[in-house]
Homo-oligomer: A and B are copies of this chain.
Amino acid sequence: MRPKALIAGVGMTRFMKYPDKGLKELGTEATQAAVADAGLELGDLEAAYVGNCAAGLVTGQESIRGQVILATIGVGKIPIVNVENACASGSTALSQACMAVTAGIYDTVLALGVEKLSHPDKMKSFAAFAGAMDQDELNEMLEALTKQAEAGGAEGGAGQNRSMFMDVYAMAARAHMENYGTTKEQFASVSAKNSFHGSMNPRAQFREALSVEDVLNDRLIVEPLTRSMCSPIGDGAAAAIIVSERKARELAAKKPVRVVTTVMHSGWNHTEDEPDTVQLCAHDAYEEAGVGPEDFDVVEIHDASAPGEIMAYEQLGLCPKGEGGKLVEDGHTRLGGRLPVNTSGGLLRKGHPVGATGLAQMVELTEQLQGRSGERQVKGAKLAMAQNGGGKSGNDAAAMVVTILQAD
């Protein structure tokens, strides 16, 4: 989609575990911050898209999540649409807000992503992830893993005490090691790099800078993933104010950032030779924007696990197939390198409250393109890309979104 839409303001909560805050507190904090950042008032909002993944399972709020959140700050009456696409729910809210503005129906639309994942009963948090797979398939996987554990493997309890997605990522990581000689040290380099970036981001869940050694010596979750190679459980919200070109001219002083394109694909059962969802999205996005992977100044990638970032480098064409490990090891994707990736700290360190993640990427990239990222600033950043995926459908993610932003 080539929207006629711009981001006029962004805002987010810090990502972390908030034992005393729920969807309402988190969602309204991000909304108010984004509206203020755009130089607007809540009353200027003409419609809202609210992305959330798992509130039904974690908080019991199965329906009308957006209405319940926004009512607490007096936002109602306007159309509010709740959207869901697992960990890509935030980007889905963004894309729908862009579509509404492109259709010429509204000038000012809120895209909000919010998630409350932490819960005194940790099993509830894991259930949230399990809800993002086909339940029939999930039950088959759990059965297979249980049998494997009974047969004496070290994998016992898979999916019981962690997100099933880490099993999926670990399997892909082992295949990457076998096929391309990627090393555990290279996976650890991703976490170390993102921890360095996150150490400079006051809104990151983790602020500690880790060495490659630290990451390797962390607790093993499932081979080859140590704990700091997996995104944490946390809560938070992020929002963007999407405006029409007409409205953007009014707000010119705020330097709105152009949404050049936002492309979505869903998973399906594809063969080895067919492009996966990230490749499909990148292909369409580059074509629509008339750019290539070499043109970006800063990129946010869906690093739900450290190997995921390396694989995404390759899928997005940032390096040739099989060379993702080397790309990060050589420092090219570190701040100061040729293409800084996940300057926010990424999902690994900034955190991954799933429904909020896609919009938190927009927060980081908008600020980068407006030159206000402080010590994380990529100098002269003009063109940025975000990749955000979620769930599992067929042999791919259920939903994948690639968005390209440009300083206007």
Contact = CB atoms under 8 A, between A and B. Distances in A.
B86 A63 contact: yes
A103 interface: yes
A78 B265 contact: yes
B92 A81 contact: yes
A57 interface: yes
Interface stretch (A179-187, A296-304, A391-399): A391-399
A398 B134 contact: no
A172 to B, nearest CB: 19
B265 A77 contact: yes
A45 to B, nearest CB: 11
Contact of A63 (B1, B53, B266, B267): B53
A124 to B, nearest CB: 11
Interface of A: 1, 3, 53-54, 56-57, 59-65, 67-68, 70-71, 74-86, 92, 95-96, 99-100, 102-105, 127-128, 131-135, 264-269, 277, 280, 390-394, 398-399
30 contacts: A3-B103, A54-B63, A56-B56, A56-B57, A62-B127, A62-B128, A63-B85, A63-B390, A64-B85, A64-B134, A64-B390, A64-B393, A64-B398, A67-B393, A67-B399, A68-B398, A71-B269, A75-B268, A76-B269, A76-B393, A77-B265, A77-B277, A79-B266, A80-B85, A80-B399, A81-B85, A81-B92, A82-B83, A82-B85, A96-B96
Contact of A99 (B68, B105, B128, B269): B105
A268 B72 CA distance: 10
A266 B76 contact: yes
Given A65-B84, A71-B134, A102-B104, 9 more contacts: A1-B103, A62-B131, A63-B84, A63-B86, A68-B135, A79-B265, A82-B85, A96-B96, A103-B103
Contacts of A62: 53-54, 56-57, 127-128, 131-132
Contacts of A63: 53-54, 84-86, 131-132, 390-391, 398
B265 A64 contact: no
A67 B103 contact: no
Contacts of A78: 265-266
B268 A74 contact: yes
Nearest to A129: B63
Given A68-B134, A71-B134, A266-B77, A105 B105 contact: no
A80 B95 CA distance: 12
A393 B82 CA distance: 14
Nearest to A393: B67
A266 B63 CA distance: 13
Contacts of A74: 268
Nearest to A2: B105
Contact of A102 (B56, B71, B96, B105): B105
A135 B60 contact: yes
A1 B103 CA distance: 9
Given A68-B393, A264-B79, A131 B61 contact: yes
